[in-house]
């Protein structure tokens, strides 16, 4: 939620949702599970993904999210000349690890 709030404050929630959707559409052929992510008023919903991705390999999910984040950072940097990326970089990586832990508990 913290990352969503930071970016939405800088770009606006509608633009952020559009960028996320554009990124997912770009990557859906290679990582079809990403279409399970849904934008809600609170941010990104993982509910459907949590249920459906348990059969995927952790490496595949990691690569999909890595591609999603890289693509989003590229779009953010292009739009804001790096301002958004500098704000988010320290916040994103711990959240990715947390998401992997939630999706694939040991």
Query: Is it the case that residue 89 has pLDDT exceeding 90?
Result: no
Dist CA 88 CA 29 (whole Å): 27
Domain boundaries, the chain: 2-103
Helices (H) and strands (E) in the chain, counts: 5, 2
Q: Which two tokens stand for residue 13?
A: 């929630």
CA dihedral 75, 44, 95, 88 (to 10 degrees): 40
The answer to pTM > 0.85 is: no
Q: Which two tokens stand for residue 101?
A: 């832990």
In tens, the pLDDT along 48-81 reads 777 777 788 888 888 998 899 888 878 877 776 6
């Amino acid at each position: 939620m913290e990352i969503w709030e930071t970016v939405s404050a800088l770009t606006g929630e509608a633009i952020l949702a559009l960028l996320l959707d554009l990124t997912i559409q770009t990557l859906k052929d290679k990582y079809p599970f990403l279409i399970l992510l849904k934008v809600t008023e609170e941010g990104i919903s993982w509910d459907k993904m949590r249920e459906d991705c348990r059969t995927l390999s952790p490496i595949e999910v990691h690569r999909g999210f890595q591609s999603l984040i890289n693509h989003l950072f590229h779009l953010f940097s292009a739009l804001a000349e790096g301002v958004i990326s500098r704000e988010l970089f320290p916040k994103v990586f711990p959240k990715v690890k947390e998401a992997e832990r939630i999706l694939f508990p040991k």
